[in-house]
Amino acid sequence: MWLGFSSASTKRAIATIYDRNTLFIIAISAQSQHLDISSISQFPAEEEVLLGPSTSFQVENVEYDKIDEKYFIYLKVLW
């Protein structure tokens, strides 16, 4: 659970610009508490999604890419 608002992009290429050694890949259902803010964003091409405070996640999988030295953490929004 992240207590504050969390920003994410629906475009993996955009997300990888901001990550360092960990990339969170989040499965968001239509029923979850999130808001697509791309239409009001200063950077609409980023296709930004805002997740509300205290959004709960379930870890589905963790992978480590030895070549890129990067962790991929697959999360599912619970509510």
pLDDT digits (tens, 9 = 90+) for 7-38: 889 998 888 888 789 999 999 887 777 888 99
pTM: 0.82
What does the pLDDT look like over 34-66, one tens digit per residue? Answer: 888 999 999 999 999 999 898 889 999 999 999
- Tell whether 41 is covered by a domain: yes
Residue 1 within a domain: no
Check: CB of residue 15 under 8 Å from CB of residue 9.
yes
Q: 9: closest CA among 32, 30, 25?
A: 25
Cα separation of 5 and 23, whole Å? 17
Into how many domains does the chain fold? 1
How many angstroms separate the CA atoms of 27 and 74, rounded?
8
Domain with 35 in it: 6-77
